[in-house]
């Protein structure tokens, strides 16, 4: 099963990099649509837009709605949950009794869990008891490999000036304890750090996807290709083996 990941497109309106950011998102959509075989789905791991405005979401949706594969999104710290859901109503779901965009998608060979890690107070990650309980419950019901998507990485990104991007350690420690109870988790995919980084956390392969907004990228992991649009393509086998490739969104010949 193939999963394409886009992250941190930061689509903006009346900013200095508007055209570059929308062009990069469009290039990723175009390339993903040309893939053969097509991915089972495309996931945007947050910061779809930069200021949370309606017009920015309209700009982003114009491209994201062109995807041939099913799209799922989670909010980042720059996103406005209600406006994100309004712009892409079929690409996310609200956790019962809350405003959190946190949900589960079951596919024939895998269960995908989408966690809302956004805080209303800071740009860093937050994970309350309600969100943790929902994750625990859904992970415990899994009978096939589970892939986890979230905006803020729960692990330290050691190449970044601030490696840890949650408000506090306690919720991350609780999340790690939940993972220890339920072995089917096979991959963690995040964004937020604006750099490509791969590691293992709680015994699970994990990564952060580089920013779709090229002007906001950090680090030097991409070398000479740092100014190219990228997405991530992950193959999840029925046995739970995960293989990830960073894909340059090449222009069509």
Alpha-carbon span 85 to 103, nearest angstrom: 13
Does residue 32 belong to any structural domain of this protein?
A: yes
Does residue 134 belong to any structural domain of this protein?
A: yes
DSSP state of 166: B
Alpha-carbon span 175 to 127, nearest angstrom: 9
- Encode burial over 152-174: b for 16+ CB neighbours within 10 A, e otherwise: bbbbebeebeeebbbbeeebbee
Does residue 253 belong to any structural domain of this protein?
A: no
Alpha-carbon span 112 to 126, nearest angstrom: 20
Does residue 86 belong to any structural domain of this protein?
A: yes
Does residue 220 belong to any structural domain of this protein?
A: yes
Record the pTM.
Answer: 0.96
Q: What is the CATH number of the domain that holds 238?
A: 3.60.21.10
Q: Are residues 42 and 70 in contact, defined by beta-carbon separation less than 8 angstroms?
A: yes
DSSP H or E segment with residue 25: helix 18-34
Backbone torsions φ then ψ of 83, nearest 5 degrees: -70, -35
Residue 47: Cβ within 10 Å count: 28
- What is the count of structural domains for the chain? 1
Sign, CA dihedral 218-3-199-164, equals positive
What does each of the 253 residues of the chain score in pLDDT, given as a tens digit? Answer: 999 999 999 999 999 999 999 999 999 999 999 999 999 999 999 999 999 999 999 999 999 999 999 999 999 999 999 999 999 999 999 999 999 999 999 999 999 999 999 999 999 999 999 999 999 999 999 999 999 999 999 999 999 999 999 999 999 999 999 999 988 899 999 999 999 999 999 999 999 999 999 999 998 777 767 889 999 999 999 999 999 999 999 877 6
Residue 233: Cβ within 10 Å count: 18
Domain that holds residue 61: 2-248
């Amino acid at each position: 099963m193939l999963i394409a990941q886009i992250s941190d497109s930061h689509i903006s309106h009346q900013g200095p990099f508007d055209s570059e950011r929308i062009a990069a998102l469009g290039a990723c959509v175009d390339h993903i649509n040309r893939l053969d075989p097509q991915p089972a789905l495309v996931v945007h791991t947050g910061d779809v837009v930069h200021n949370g405005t309606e017009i920015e979401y309209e700009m982003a949706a114009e491209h994201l709605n062109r995807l041939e594969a099913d799209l799922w999104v989670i909010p980042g710290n720059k996103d406005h949950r209600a406006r994100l859901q309004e712009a892409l109503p079929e690409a996310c779901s609200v956790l019962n009794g809350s405003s959190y965009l946190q949900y589960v998608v079951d596919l024939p060979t895998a269960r995908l869990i989408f966690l809302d890690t956004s805080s209303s107070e800071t740009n860093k990650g937050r994970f309350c008891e309600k969100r943790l309980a929902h994750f625990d419950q859904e992970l415990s019901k899994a009978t096939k490999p589970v892939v986890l998507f979230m905006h803020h990485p729960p692990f330290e990104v050691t190449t970044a000036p601030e490696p840890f991007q949650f408000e506090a350690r306690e919720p991350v420690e609780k999340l790690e304890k939940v993972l220890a109870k339920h072995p089917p988790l096979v991959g963690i995919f995040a964004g937020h750090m604006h750099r490509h980084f791969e590691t293992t956390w709680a015994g699970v392969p994990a990564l952060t996807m580089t920013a779709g907004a090229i002007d906001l990228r950090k680090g030097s992991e991409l070398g000479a290709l740092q100014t190219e649009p990228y997405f991530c393509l992950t193959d999840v086998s029925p046995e739970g083996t995960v293989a990830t490739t960073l894909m340059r969104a090449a222009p069509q010949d």
